[in-house]
Structure 1
Amino acid sequence: MHQKTQLLALVLFLLLSPVLAQPRGGQPGPVAAITGQVYDSQFNEPVEYANIVVYRLRDSTQVNGTVSGPDGRFRVGDLRPGRYYLEVTFIGYRPRTVTDVQLEAGATFDVGRLDLRQLVVAVEGVEAVAERPTLTYEIDKKVIDVGGLATAASGTAVDVLENVPTVKVDIEGNVSLRGSENFTVLVDGRPSPLDPSDALQLIPAGTIDRVEVITNPSARHDPDGVSGIINVILKQQRGSGLSGVVNTNAGLGNRYGANAQVVWTSGIVTLQAGADYTRRASPGTRETWRSTTRGDTVS
């Protein structure tokens, strides 16, 4: 009987030993923590929101983690005693690893200041290509870039002006500025002695760099009695020699025409000569009826 009592007591002791070994309240034993501070190595400033992850050293299992505060400080708690390593990462920086952190029960391990280096990524150069607008507006004028027009390969200055606001070209090639044919044509800033429409028809589009339409000319252009100025800027001629161009055109109803221009250049001296012939016959009839009423009599 006495032996049975001793045996029963031994069995109960073995069963209750794990329970008695636990701390009161069923809480785990003393835990440890890791603290530190994250800084930018180049600017010597704290890095906020850096990711800090703690791994168990023996199997690289993620245990806990946190982020740094505004002053770069962090604290990772609730860690059991043991050996760990931690990794610090942030966008735009190289990762930083602290290896073999030995934690004791109830202790705090301070890894100190951790400097992160900015990550420099080499990329290929990027080339941005944009076309200059054909028509631009300045304070006192409109500027037409002839190089961006389809008519630059052929045609005349009249063809360049067809789609310009405030400029109108009729079916016969006559040009009007703001509804008036009384305007001044300048070639490289110098007045042309020809009629405005004739002068524009004699200038090949291929020789034009840009056209300036000035609707509010200053006093230096002597603007009295004119609706504006069309200034044709020619391309810079290089070298010396003789060049020329001939244009012909034809249409229905016995309409045809031709123009030619010859340019001679020697140093800073440039001489131009041109001729133009245009036939724009418009056959047809016109009837006019007019009546005059005086009192009760119509005549």
Structure 2
Amino acid sequence: MIKYWFALLSFFFLTHEIFSQEYTISGAIADETNQPISYANIILIRASDSIVYKGTSSNENGKFIFNDVKADSYTLHITFVGFKDYTQALLVDADSVLDTIHLEETTEALDEIEIIAKKPTLKKEQDRLVFNIENTTLTEGSIWDVLKGTPGILMINDEITVKNSSNIIYLINDKRVYLSDHELQQLLSGTNANAVQSVEVITNPPAKYDASGGAVINIKMSKNLVTGYNGNLYGNYTQGVYPRYNIGTGHFFKKDKLSVFLNYSYDYSKVNRVNKEDMLFIEANAVTGRWQGDIDRNTKSKTHNASLNLDYDFDEKNTLSLSASTTQTPFWKQKTNSVTQAIDSTF
């Protein structure tokens, strides 16, 4: 049996070496006049399942780099405000330096006259990027849409990241917003951006923010969030072997110095995972052994999430914030069927 274990270990290390190879992909981005484009958003999307694999931004010289990229097929997707989106298919099987990528400026046609769309301005300061969008077409959408298009901010699988980290503190007019990521998305998705002046992406936050190594996004507005009530319902449904869905509701109320946000959601999930393994041991062109493993696992759960946030502004410098949240899973069940067998043909 020793020879079988030796063959098994050899197969494992060989397979691990093949599938763990990683490469570096680099390149540069410029406009049609060959001027570098700084802080463009760049993502790698796996071709097999359309999942965002990695994301980065171009530096001050328009250059970018992806490290530790596994061998696979990808789509390179580049966006920068004022320019058309760019996509390119990539087959990664070695380190490579891409040719300079030139982005095409966005134009609009009006009565046969071509007009260059007014572009927001981007200013680099010592510890932050300041993205000014006041009186531009970006203010026609929601505040959430503005964040998704802000240089330096990447949307990775429906999650906002800065410098590959989702550890972000959000401010509105320099005041911290004590909401979860999902609650904040619901609020900003339902709020028009016409009052937004700029978005500051602070990658090296001063100590006063207590960002614990993360980033800070500060939304500057000409006026505070609209007074009154804002409510929404949301939900999604996924069908695999079994269905999964979640439904929820969010409510925001603001009047004078008081702001209240209430959120509730219900999640139902039943997930089936099947893992099959079959390994042959060959010696002298003959099968000398076989190892088989089959695992069939079903996991079912029901979860309730609720949160309440309250802010009261005493004055411009003093705010009382209270928050409470709860998560309850009254039902969770897992059932696993596992069959493993080893066959030695010498017996």
Q: Tell me which interval the TM-score lies in, with the shorter structure as reference length.
A: 0.3 to 0.5
Report the TM-score when normalising by structure 1. 0.41
Report the TM-score when normalising by structure 2. 0.36
Of Structure 1 and Structure 2, the greater strand share is in 2
